Amino acid sequence: MEIIFLEKNNTGIITLNRPKALNALNIDMAKIFSEKLQEWNENVNIKRVLLIGEGKHFCAGGDVKSLYLTKNENNFKEEFFRIEYKLNYLISQFKKEYLSIWNGVVMGGGVGLSIYGDHRMATDNTKFAMPETSIGFFPDVGASYFLSNLPKNVGKFIGLTGQILEVNDLIYLGLATDYFKIENLELLKNNYINSGELIRENFEVNNDTELIKNIELINLMFEGNLNEIISNLENNKSQFSSKILDIIYKKCPMSLYVSTKLINDAKGKSLKECLEIEYQLSQKLVYRTDFDNGVNSVLVTKDHNPQWSPAKIDQINTEELNKYFETHTKKLYL
């Protein structure tokens, strides 16, 4: 079983069980996850939910490799994102307590399974990222909602660079709600399952991380649209801005443009509105050659040398960009 459900002491326990794939969420897992969550929402015997990943990691994201490998199948890409985004919204509306244990890798679709719950416990080995601009896509699963609500343009920084965040950054930004020591994992789980109580451990944020040290600079550099961001970084001449520029120049140019506009436009919008916009966008971007090239290069051949089209940021046609944001397929109707 790729996803396991267990009921114990009024707790619904969900285990993502694809450890060799870092528990990446495929379409069948998303379907039964949705069905079980709806059932538990109405079940008076279930008072809370615990979401964990089997093995050393929580969830590396949605199974985009399957989208690439089944690219000629009818409606698969439409169905995949429809089911995944509806599940994200369902989690946000879930009436009972919902705890995710962010052990190891938490990326992309794995963030979408957890960030809308009540508690997200991070530990010293947590690695959080939204890395979609590396595969010709954009930060989705409602990322435009939660990234646009982060302070000081940090959301755009995370979305464009795919920067890996660890526990200090996650607690500082409120992306993780609590900290736990990895050696207390079983104690944490058992306590929550048996009594519904969380073991909250004291955590003093270390302000010496790259992100926190440079947060004011990030705020200045990532203001505006993509052209302004690139100009800001080029003119800044600091070691940090040079490093970030090098990272950004390796990402998919169209993904960078789309992601910047998406996060800028999301300010003030609800999660429901953001998911609807992302769904329309997803059904354009998954059919671009950049998506196939990106997924193949990063996840299939792993040569990490995708050929983007257009190849450079200054070759992007902004009229084409705006068309991606038009409603062109049926809505999610959340």
294 is catalytic: no
62 is catalytic: yes
132 is catalytic: yes
**pTM of the shown model:** 0.97
Q: Which of 62, 108, 112, 117 is catalytic?
A: 62
The per-residue b/e assignment along 60-89, b for 16 or more CB within 10 angstroms, e otherwise, is bbbbbbbbbeeeeeeebbeebbbbbbbbbb
Q: Which of 63, 132, 278, 292 is catalytic?
A: 132
The pLDDT tens digits for 297-324 are 999 999 989 999 999 999 998 888 889 9
Q: Which of 63, 84, 140, 292 is catalytic?
A: 140
The pLDDT tens digits for 170-211 are 999 999 999 999 999 999 999 999 999 999 999 999 999 999
Q: Strand runs (DSSP E) across the chain, as ranges?
A: 3-8, 11-16, 48-53, 97-102, 105-107, 119-122, 127-129, 178-179
Domains of the chain: 3-129+167-195 (3.90.226.10)
- What share of residues in the chain are helix, strand, coil (percent, to 5)? 50, 10, 40
Q: Which of 104, 109, 155, 159 is catalytic?
A: 109
The pLDDT tens digits for 49-88 are 999 999 999 999 999 988 888 876 678 999 999 999 999 9
By C-alpha distance, which of 57, 2, 56 is closest to 26?
Answer: 2
224 is catalytic: no
